[in-house]
Amino acid sequence: MSKANKEKNKVAFLSVLAAVFLTGFKLIVGLLTGSIGILSEALHSALDFAAAGITFFAVRLSDKPADRDHHYGHGKIENLSALIETLLLLITCVWIIYEAVSRLATGKTHIEVTVWSYIVVISSIVIDISRSRALMRVAKKHNSQALEADALHFSTDIWSSTVVLLGLICANFGIYIADSVAALIVALIVIYISYKLGKRSINVLLDKVPEETYNKIKSLLDELTEIEYYHNLKVRASGAEFFVELNIHVNPDLNIHESHEIATKIENIIKNQIPRSNIHVHIEPDEKEENDPI
């Protein structure tokens, strides 16, 4: 296993351990206090555990090299895991909204606020800040969309836990309705992040052009003087990998070796700017009288 894979697996595994701890801690305190806000956070953390587990295995599997049955590798396992994580987040919303609205409708909003209520929520905020930063750092370093999705997920946990904390503070002053309202705000936060993660995952699974990467490659090609022009530039993402295809037109007086050197130069330029990119360059002799650049 490469050093990069070890680092990704380590941060994903630590995320799983954190999710196990927080789920148990919140569940116990939530049941003891009757706080729907803390119980909603417990369910959220339980789904975090499932999502972290999915991410852990997705990261391990997505880095497997291409084989006979998967010519383009296994990178989209990361994108699929991010989509599954989105569905889990939406399930969280259904339960939170149902329980919070039910309590508001019946007026059964009284909860018991103890020191443990504050300890579990503050501990959750501290742990989530730590793991979201660690996940995002490794995700950016190795271009891992699964880890980045996990990092975005846990960064929303920070905000939702903060909302629950505010609800507990209000409940401590007798404003018990604040706990249920806090739970509804948590659900809205989760819906928002679910939309962002789901849209991004589906775009990659459907091979939507990654605009930032596409424009970056286009700017690199526009600076080249060795080619007459290029066309049919195609870019798609698959997990941490990018697949690039393009046609270039070169001076027809160049021999095969010279044309190949230009194609190799283009490949190296793109690979230096975009790690883990797979590039295919098709060479054509330039015939200006018959072809117009696209």
Domain boundaries, the chain: 3-205, 211-285
pTM over 0.85? The answer is: no
What pLDDT does 70 receive?
81
Residue 250, H or E segment = strand 241-250
When pLDDT is cut at 50, 70 and 90, the band that residue 16 belongs to is confident
Give pLDDT tens digits for 151-192: 776 777 777 778 778 777 887 777 878 777 877 877 787 788
CATH 3.40.640.10 describes domain 211-285: no
Give pLDDT tens digits for 109-142: 666 667 877 888 888 888 888 888 888 888 877 7
Residue range 46-73: mean pLDDT, rounded: 77
Is residue 121 within 8 Å of 168, Cβ to Cβ? yes
Is residue 4 within 8 Å of 144, Cβ to Cβ? no
Alpha helices in 143-176 (DSSP H): 145-172
Burial 37-47 (b: 16+ CB within 10 A, else e): bbbbbbbbbbb
CB atoms within 10 A of CB 280: 12
Q: Which two tokens stand for residue 171?
A: 């409940």
Give pLDDT tens digits for 224-275: 888 888 999 999 988 778 999 999 999 988 899 999 999 999 999 999 988 7
Mean pLDDT of all residues in the chain?
80
CATH of domain 3-205: 1.20.1510.10
Alpha carbon distance 159, 128 (integer Å): 10
